[in-house]
Amino acid sequence: MRRYQKQTGELKQVICNCCGRELNVDQGILKEGACHLEPRWGYFSGKDMEKHSFDLCEACYDKIISGFSVPVDVTEETEFFPMEDGETE
């Protein structure tokens, strides 16, 4: 879960939706690994046209993917483009 400053759009707070831990945000920048997901559910789902959004800390992410029957695909990125933290929902 992410909270932004209303006036500036600056990232204020990131909370892991799984364990409830507040992640380290310093001056609008998230300073630790996190997984931000925004699944959009279409007409053929049971959540007709809902958009969800949540954040997972790295520990919760690791715990969840370790339960997968098929492991996640892992590739190396040559450049890292962090998410636009000023982006509002």
Q: Which residues bind Zn ion (CB under 5 A)?
A: 16, 18-19, 57, 60
Q: Write down the least CB distance from residue 20 to Zn ion, Å.
A: 7
DSSP class of 31: -
Q: Which of 26, 31, 23 is nearest to 54 (CA)?
A: 23
Nearer to Zn ion among residue 11 and residue 16 (C-beta): 16
Phi, psi of 9 (to 5 degrees): 75, 10
At residue 70, φ and ψ (nearest 5 deg) are -115, 125
Nearer to Zn ion, 18 or 85 (CB): 18
Q: Nearest approach, Cβ of 9 to Zn ion (angstroms)?
A: 25
Instruction: Provide the minimum distance between the beta carbon of 55 and Zn ion in the complex, in angstroms, as a whole number.
Output: 8
